[in-house]
Amino acid sequence: MPLPWLREPLLRALRLERSHALLLHAPQDAGQFDLALTLAQAWLCEHPGQAPCGRCSACRLVHQRSHPDLRIVVPEALRVRFEWLAEDDPLLRASAKPSREIKIEQVRDAIEWTQRSASSTRGRSLVIHPAEALNAHSASALLKTLEEPPGNLRIVMAGSDPQRLLPTLRSRVQRLRVEMPDAKQAKAWLSEQGVAVQTDRALAVCGGSPLATMMLLEAGFDDAALAALPSAVARGDAQGLLGKPVPLVVDLLQRVAHDAMARAAGAGARYFDDASLPAGATLSALAQWQRELLRVAAHDEHPWHAALLVEALVTNGARCWPRTATPARRGGDHSLHSAR
Ligand SMILES: [Zn+2]
């Protein structure tokens, strides 16, 4: 079964029977990839016209990712994250960083696959995620297939920002917007997953996404830890962030920076409680810190010295609050280059 807030969008998508290419777009982490996979499964299920039964042989093959009529195209970096690599996968031996883009070779390979005949009468399903990972070349390579899909091929793309897609690609797909669940639905789902703590702050920090909230909680960030985070950063105290997954930490610091920026500019905070954000941050220092965080976020690899990296980021963050940070912390040179 799809996630509860995706059931209605799934039925809506299934009603678009004549559409061969769909773009499911939703705010980050709303579950659009899950929905795309469930939709593809429903298209292949032996009991068509409804949510996938989950029991037929087609559904079972989809679950094992071995259905011959299903192709899932994601960037290498996601295959690594999902642990979708066979033991002999070249990615495991490659020294290069796994790509975060969908490469043109992947698209060409998928197009070649679409031209073979389907193994069942249910046709074939191609899932592409995230659509924004298609670069100009791979998106262009896909245009003809989107316009004239061979045989009974159906394509579903998941994404979060249609404006970042090539206009020619955007115009060839039918768009279906998926909303984040409301707070009540989100909390109901979290409690079904066994979450028994307050999650208001975590949900706000995650832009309302229960999936991202779950990951945050699993990493040990409850509401109390999150409420204490901005002032800890302002003091230059990285203790609560050490040992946590670096991409998650960088993401959290970006949100602290965003809200501090909003507050310094006289606007309201978006992720954290206004009251938990220390006053007195300087805009120019925040802008510099944000650029640094963006740079680090763009590098996906796990640094060998994760603790040093996190400490340097927090120390540099503390410089945005010159009256809050302790002089000892502000003294030394905490250049990121020396930390990595
Ligand atoms: Zn089925």
Q: Which of 124, 154, 177 is where one domain is finished?
A: 177
Q: Are residues 171 and 234 in the same domain?
A: no
Q: Are residues 229 and 152 in the same domain?
A: no
Tokens of 193: 């997953």
User: Residue 55 C-alpha to ligand 1 middle, in angstroms?
Assistant: 5
User: Residue 319 C-alpha to ligand 1 middle, in angstroms?
Assistant: 56
Instruction: Judge whether 156 and 126 are in contact, CB under 8 Å.
Output: yes
User: Residue 47 C-alpha to ligand 1 middle, in angstroms?
Assistant: 6
User: Is 335's pLDDT higher than 60?
Assistant: no
Q: How many domains does the chain have?
A: 2
* Sequence letter at residue 51: A
User: Residue 43 C-alpha to ligand 1 middle, in angstroms?
Assistant: 9
Q: Tell me, what's the pLDDT at 290?
A: 96
User: Residue 127 C-alpha to ligand 1 middle, in angstroms?
Assistant: 18
Asked, for residue 190, whether it belongs to a domain, the answer is: no
Angle at 232 between CA 314 and CA 211, to 5 degrees: 85
User: Residue 4 C-alpha to ligand 1 middle, in angstroms?
Assistant: 19
- State pLDDT tens for residues 262-284: 999 999 999 999 999 999 999 99
User: Residue 182 C-alpha to ligand 1 middle, in angstroms?
Assistant: 29
Q: Are residues 232 and 163 in the same domain?
A: no
Residues with CB under 5 A from ligand 1 (ion): 45, 52-53, 56, 59
Higher pLDDT, 121 or 73: 73
User: Is 333's pLDDT higher than 60?
Assistant: no
Q: Are residues 171 and 229 in the same domain?
A: no
Instruction: List the domain range (segments joined by +) for residue 47.
Output: 4-177
User: Residue 151 C-alpha to ligand 1 middle, in angstroms?
Assistant: 22
Asked, for residue 141, whether it belongs to a domain, the answer is: yes
Q: Tell me, what's the pLDDT at 133?
A: 96
Q: What is the ipTM of this complex?
A: 0.99
Q: Are residues 171 and 269 in the same domain?
A: no
Burial 155-191 (b: 16+ CB within 10 A, else e): bbbbbbebeebbeebeebbeebebebbeeeebbebbe
User: Is 210's pLDDT higher than 70?
Assistant: yes
Q: Are residues 147 and 260 in the same domain?
A: no
Q: Who's near 135: CB < 8 A, 6+ residues apart?
A: 101, 102, 103, 104
Asked, for residue 202, whether it belongs to a domain, the answer is: no
Return the closest-CA partner of residue 36 out of 141, 160, 146.
160
User: Residue 45 C-alpha to ligand 1 middle, in angstroms?
Assistant: 4
Higher pLDDT, 95 or 323: 323
User: Residue 120 C-alpha to ligand 1 middle, in angstroms?
Assistant: 13
Asked, for residue 189, whether it belongs to a domain, the answer is: no
- State pLDDT tens for residues 216-239: 999 999 999 999 999 999 999 999
Asked, for residue 227, whether it belongs to a domain, the answer is: yes
Q: Are residues 123 and 246 in the same domain?
A: no
